[in-house]
Amino acid sequence: MKKTILFTLVLLLAGCYPDETLTVPVTQPNVQLETDLDKFIETNFREKYGMAIRYRFVDRYIKPTQRVAPPKLEVVQPMLDFIQKFWIDPFLEVQNGEAYFRTHVPAEVVLLGGFIYNDDGTVVLGTADAGAQITFTYVNAIDPADKEWEALQLHTVYHEFAHIVHQRHKLPPDFEKISPAGYTSPGFWVSLPMKMPSSGVLCHRMPPAPRTKILPRPWPSICTTRILLRSL
Amino acid sequence: MTDEPNCLTPECEARNAGRELVREKLTAIMEHYKKVVGVDLEAVRNAVQAKLN
């Protein structure tokens, strides 16, 4: 009986410990509105479209086998202007475009300074991750007079944005039957010189190995983007 | 995107056949976008091109 009372007393005392303050460091939120640039991003991208812009490099943006340079601080604002002018504004200017953009915009946009280099020597131009993130690469080379850089970024962002859209709305019925030959999967897409192949396929996915079984798989987004942005 | 006129070689005809397939896919995608999200991709393209020029 005495032991039971003593045990209960200990439990009660332990439960009424007066100071419940944590003695371990609390993780700081990953938001640092320290600079004018951060405030600009907060006001013009996160609050307006729910789109966080990540320009401070975090290693989770790439795989452990990949290498990339972070963006220079001085290119971030020009890149934001580029994104606003050539990606956001065109949708705001067309019918139903704003609702469409707001509905499909990724929650996170990552800026990287250079290309992402894989350990096999290939490079990644941009990525769209699970419909929630789009990554711009090669941002450090921004130059308003460089039309090739401009075209590369536009191809990349509209291509990646199309991935997000197609994940939600699929492809048109019977689209796969139009030109079933000429696609390879799985792998990664590469930009090819603008030539007209008889297959009607303007983009290809490289098989991971020469002897990998090749399966037909239409992948219209880059094709559509290239046709829309450049005439053949 | 227009066909090469006066095709005299099989290669030229093949390229034009490819163009026809691309036109078919482009039309399918553009109609799909209009149907599911109500956006005219041609209008988006024109907006982008106007800023590029």
Structure tokens at A176: 């796969």
Q: Could you tell me if A207 lies within 8 Å of chain B, comparing CB atoms? A: no
Pairing of strands A204-206, A123-124: unpaired
**Taking 70 as the threshold, does the pLDDT of residue A77 lie above it?**
yes
Phi and psi angles of residue A70, each rounded to the nearest 5 degrees, phi first: -75, 165
Which residues are CB-neighbours of A147 under 8 A, at least 6 positions away?
Answer: none
Q: What is the pLDDT of residue A179?
A: 77
Q: For A45-56, give one letter per residue: b (16+ CB within 10 A) or e.
A: bbeebebbbbbe
Amino acid at A148: E
Q: Could you tell me if B27 lies within 8 Å of chain A, comparing CB atoms? A: no
- A174: which chain B residues are within 8 Å (Cβ-Cβ)? 28
SS3 at position A145: coil
* Mean of per-residue pLDDT scores for chain B: 89
pLDDT band at A16 (very low <50, low <70, confident <90, very high): low
Quick one: residue B2, left, alpha or beta (phi over 0 = left, psi -120 to 50 = alpha)? beta
**Taking 90 as the threshold, does the pLDDT of residue A74 lie above it?**
yes
DSSP state letters, A31-48? ----SHHHHHHIIIIIHH
Of A93, A96, A228, the CB nearest to B37: A96
SS3 at position A128: strand
Q: Could you tell me if B29 lies within 8 Å of chain A, comparing CB atoms? A: yes
Q: Do A175 and B29 touch (CB under 8 A)?
A: yes
Share of chain A above pLDDT 90, in %: 33
Q: What is the pLDDT of residue A187?
A: 37
ipTM of the complex: 0.86
Mean pLDDT of A163-182: 79
Q: What is the pLDDT of residue A188?
A: 39
Structure tokens at A67: 């290498």
pLDDT band at A81 (very low <50, low <70, confident <90, very high): very high
Q: What residues of chain A, 26 to 85, have a C-beta less than 8 Å from chain B? A: 85
- Please, is A228 exposed, middle or buried when counting C-beta atoms within 10 Å of its C-beta (0-12, 13-18, 19+)? buried
Mean pLDDT of B10-39: 90
- What is the distance between the alpha carbons of residues A185 and A1, in angstroms, rounded to a whole number? 74
Q: What is the pTM of this model?
A: 0.71
Q: Do B41 and A171 touch (CB under 8 A)?
A: no
- B29: which chain A residues are within 8 Å (Cβ-Cβ)? 172, 175, 220, 224
Cis amide prior to A220 (ω within 30 degrees): no
- B37: which chain A residues are within 8 Å (Cβ-Cβ)? 96, 100, 103-104, 165, 169
Cα A168 to the chain's mean position, in Å?
A: 16
Structure tokens at B40: 């005219």
pLDDT band at A12 (very low <50, low <70, confident <90, very high): low
Of A89, A95, A220, the CB nearest to B29: A220
SS3 at position A133: strand
Quick one: residue A200, left, alpha or beta (phi over 0 = left, psi -120 to 50 = alpha)? left
Q: Could you tell me if B24 lies within 8 Å of chain A, comparing CB atoms? A: yes
Mean pLDDT of A150-177: 83
- DSSP 8-state assignment for residue A60: G
Q: Do A94 and B24 touch (CB under 8 A)?
A: no
User: How would you write chain B as a 3-class SS string?
Assistant: CCCCCCCCCHHHHHHHHHHHHHHHHHHHHHHHHHHHCCCCHHHHHHHHHHHHC
- What is the distance between the alpha carbons of residues A76 and A109, in angstroms, rounded to a whole number? 12
Helix or strand (DSSP H, E) at A158:
helix A147-169
Mean pLDDT of B21-46: 90
**Taking 90 as the threshold, does the pLDDT of residue A22 lie above it?**
no
Least confident of A174-183, A212-221, B42-51: A212-221
Q: Do A175 and B37 touch (CB under 8 A)?
A: no
